Structure 1
Amino acid sequence: MVQQERAVRTRQALLRAAAETFDQEGFTPSGLTGISDRAGVSKGALHFHFTNKAGLAKAVEKEAGTTLRAITDQALTGAPPALQRLVDATHALAALLREDVVVRAGFRLCCERIRPPAEGPYAQWERFVARMLERADAEGALTHAVSAREAGQAIVAATTGFELLGRYDRRWLSAPSLTAFWSLLLPRLTTEPVRDRPHSGEIAEPAQAAAPAVAARS
C-alpha cells in the first residue's frame, strides 16, 4: 500500500512538472531530464511511469481534459437558460487558464500539433459550445439574425483566441476582457436578459461578485 501511494505521488509530481515545463517552453524544447529534475525524481522513475515525452504530453492533455469536462458537464446538466450557463462557463474556463498550469499546458500542447487530437481540450470546448448554443436555440433564446452554428464559430474563435493571447499577457484571461467580449456579442445573440459574469455560485470563480445584467437589444 505504501509503495502504491508513493507511485501515485511520483506520477502526479511528474505530471505537474511536465505541465509546468510544457507551459513555459512548449513541447519540442522540453527535455525529460529537466522534467525529472523539476519533479525531484530520477529519469528511471520517469520512464517507469511514462515511455517517452509524447506519453507525458498525452497524459497532461488527458488530465487537462478531465478538469475541463468538470466545467462543461456542470453546464450541460444544469437547468435553463443555456446561454447563461455558456457565459458562466467561459468565465470558469478563463479562471482555469489563469490558475491551473495543467489546463494551460493541455491547451498549448494541442495547439502545437499539426492535427489537434479529436479528444483534446480544443475539440472538447468546440463541441460543448455547439451543444449549448443548440439548446439556447431550442429554448428560443437566440435572435433570428444569427444561427447557432455561426454563433458557435464566433465564440469558439474568440475564447480560444483569448487562451492563445493569454499565454503572453494574462490580461486577456481577465474577467474584464471576457465581459467586454460578451457585452458586444450578447445584444446580437439574444433578446433575453443574460448576465455577462457568473452568478448565483453556479459555474463561477470563487469570491467573484456578479455584475449587473446586460441590457439586451433586439
Structure 2
Amino acid sequence: MAQQQRAMRTRSLLVHAASTQFDRSGYEGTTLNQINRLAGISMGALTFHFPTKQALAEAVQQQGRALVREAVAGVVARPRPALATGIALTLALARLLEDNVEVRAAARLARECPPSVAPWSADWLPVVRELFHQAQNECGLRRDSDPDALAALAAHLVAGAEIQVRGGGVALMTGNHSGPGEELAQIWRVVLRGLIVKNIGEYDEDLA
C-alpha cells in the first residue's frame, strides 16, 4: 500500500511538473530533462511512469480536461436560466485557466498537437452552444439574436482569457488590474445590456 501511494505521488508530481513546463514552453520547447529536474525526480523514475514525452502530454491532457469537464458539470447542475448558465460556464473556464496550470497546459497542448488531440473547446463549447439555443427557446434572447454566433463569441472570449493569462493580451483600462475572469465578466455585462436581454438582474450574481 505504501509503495502504491509513493507511485501515485510520483506520478502526480510528474504530471504537475510536466503541466508547468508545457504551459511555459509548449510541447516542442519541453524536454524530459526539464520535467524531471522540475519535479525533483530521477529520469529513471520518470521513464518508468511515462516512457515518452507524448505519454506525459497525454496524461496532462487527461488531467486538465477532466478538470474542465468537472467544472462544466458543476455549472450546468445549478438551476438557473440557460443564458445565465452559458455565461457562468465561460466565466468558470476563464478562472480555471487563470488558476490551474493543468488546464492551461491542456489547452495549449490541444492547440499544438493536432490532429491527434481533439480541440480543447470540444469539452465545453457544444454545451455552451446548446445552452444558448435553449436560451432562445426560453425567450432569453432577443428574436434577432443568433445562438451560434453567440457561442462563437463565447469561444473567442475564452480564447482571449487564455491569451490574457499568458500575458499576451491587452488589459482593459479599468485601473484596478482585474484578472481575465473579472474582465470577461465586464465584457458580458456590456453584451447583456446592449445586445441580448432587457433585464439582467438575474445575472448579477454570476457576474459579481
Report the alpha carbon displacement of residue 144 of structure 1 after superposing the two structures with TM: 0.9
Report the alpha carbon displacement of residue 195 of structure 1 after superposing the two structures with TM: 5.6
Query: Which residue matches 2:192?
Result: 186
Report the alpha carbon displacement of residue 26 of structure 1 after superposing the two structures with TM: 0.9
Distance 1:25 1:31 in 2: 10
Structure 1 stretches of 4+ moved >3 Å: 169-173, 194-199
Alignment CA distance shift 1:197-1:22 (3 Å):
farther
Distance 1:116 1:81 in 2: 36
Distance 1:197 1:43 in 2: 51
Query: Which residue matches 2:87?
Result: 87
SS of corresponding position for 2:28: coil
SS of corresponding position for 1:46: helix
Contact 2:111 2:120 in 1 (8 A): no
- 1:142 and 2:170 correspond: no
Contact 2:132 2:147 in 1 (8 A): yes
2:180 to 156, 167, 174: 174
Where in structure 2 are the equivalents of 1:65-84 lying within 5 Å? 65-84=65-84
Greater Cα offset, 32-41 or 178-187: 178-187
Report the alpha carbon displacement of residue 10 of structure 1 after superposing the two structures with TM: 0.4
Report the alpha carbon displacement of residue 68 of structure 1 after superposing the two structures with TM: 0.8
Report the alpha carbon displacement of residue 7 of structure 1 after superposing the two structures with TM: 0.4
Contact 1:82 1:133 in 2 (8 A): yes
Where in structure 2 are the equivalents of 1:38-117 lying within 5 Å? 38-115=38-115, 117=117
Report the alpha carbon displacement of residue 175 of structure 1 after superposing the two structures with TM: 3.7
- Structure 1 gaps, min length 5: 200-209, 212-218
Distance 1:5 1:114 in 2: 34
How large is the Cα RMSD of the aligned pairs?
Answer: 2.2
Distance 2:64 2:48 in 1: 22
Distance 2:126 2:116 in 1: 14
How many percent identity over aligned positions? 31
Q: Which structure features the higher share of helix residues?
A: 2
Contact 2:89 2:128 in 1 (8 A): no
- Structure 2 gaps, min length 5: 173-178
Distance 2:111 2:156 in 1: 13
> Number of paired residues?
200
Q: Residue 156 of structure 1 aligns to which amino acid in structure 2?
A: A
